[in-house]
Structure 1
């Protein structure tokens, strides 16, 4: 059965002044996503600065990749690889897994690392690979999802701290008036920021991709 594996890697964490504090922030982000999305294998920090988990749907993995990233920005950033394929438990410990889904996720995160060296994709932080792209409709799905992820990442990368705060609120279901009150700015200022920074488009894309099976 096909699953969706997610691998994340902190960007430039070895240069962080306090890696323990950074890992605490990351762990809280993973805990929040696990509570919200209930992945089949919960997200957890593994070796080094990586984390990983397994989801039942592509939409949930894409949602997780954005929510975890937004929890760290603007101080820190993160790259994610998403892979579709079978996942196998190798031992009595259900956390020890392998299989094509994981290999695809690893290939995806390596593709993100490679893209960072190309000007047109320097802001890319998420990629998707299917272990068997010959499945009916799968190759088209991979291309379409990666196009959406590339544009989403480009918009998010350029956001100011205030716009990131507004985006987090919108994704949490807060209204623009709620956000104006919380940030102590006018509703008009929130509305202008939503339009100018493409926050509405990010939220709409997030909702559309979040429904992918």
Structure 2
């Protein structure tokens, strides 16, 4: 199993921690409904979340979807803000992905109580980031694919490219990852299809396609 641990970066700077936690719960629910899970996505203690996936591709995609969902909640489109309450603060997270066995002690507890090499690898991966946002992977180095070096090279490039996207482009990327066509994205954003096409050419399609190709590796 590929264990994912997420942690809020700069949580003390959040103006409303209760709303931030609500945003995290809403985000985990949305991502859980869109992806196959090996272990449920859930908050743990403090500012952390955890979950499990059958493939490294699903684990990396989940970290990207969580990041983009949180961003969309903080910076919604005009359509989303028409009758909604003010947006919550942007919650920024760092993620560690670990590969290895996980021993579950109490599946029905909330959060799940667990231990083992996979869980500790995810912890090592997130600790390697320090206090910076991003995603890192830790796993066996002598078992072929997925080796940590190429996975982390992909993650550094992917997350760096997402950093260059503006609020609207990140919402477009989230829609694209969910398979929405450009026409539907244009209608949601209230802009022309030509404007969406230009945004796709500036990085949106590159991230979407890179994530899809990584899933086939």
TM class by shorter chain equals 0.7 to 0.9
CA drift at 1:91? 4.4
RMSD: 1.8
CA distance in 2, matches of 1:69, 1:92: 26
Residue equivalent to 1:109: 126
**Of the candidates 107, 129, 137, which is equivalent to residue 128 of structure 1?**
137
CA distance in 1, matches of 2:215, 2:177: 12
CA drift at 1:92? 6.7
Ranges in structure 2 where 5+ consecutive residues have no aligned partner: 76-89
**Of the candidates 167, 183, 188, which is equivalent to residue 194 of structure 2?**
188
Alignment of 1:1-213 (within 5 A): 3-73=1-71, 75-91=90-106, 93=108, 95-113=112-130, 116=132, 125-130=134-139, 132-135=140-143, 137-138=144-145, 141-196=147-202, 198-211=203-216
- Contact kept, 8 Å, 1:62 with 1:209, in 2: the verdict is no
Ranges in structure 1 where 5+ consecutive residues have no aligned partner: 117-123
**DSSP-derived class of the 1:113 partner:** coil
Cα deviation code 1:114-168 (max 9, x no counterpart): 6x4xxxxxxx6000000x3222x14x73211111100110011222111111111
**DSSP-derived class of the 2:180 partner:** coil
CA distance in 1, matches of 2:128, 2:107: 32
CA drift at 1:193? 1.2
Residue equivalent to 1:121: none
Cα deviation code 1:41-64 (max 9, x no counterpart): 101101101000111111111111
**DSSP-derived class of the 2:130 partner:** helix
CA distance in 1, matches of 2:42, 2:216: 23
Instruction: Provide TM-score, normalisation by structure 2.
Output: 0.85
Count of residues paired in the alignment: 198
CA distance in 1, matches of 2:114, 2:104: 4
Instruction: Provide TM-score, normalisation by structure 1.
Output: 0.86
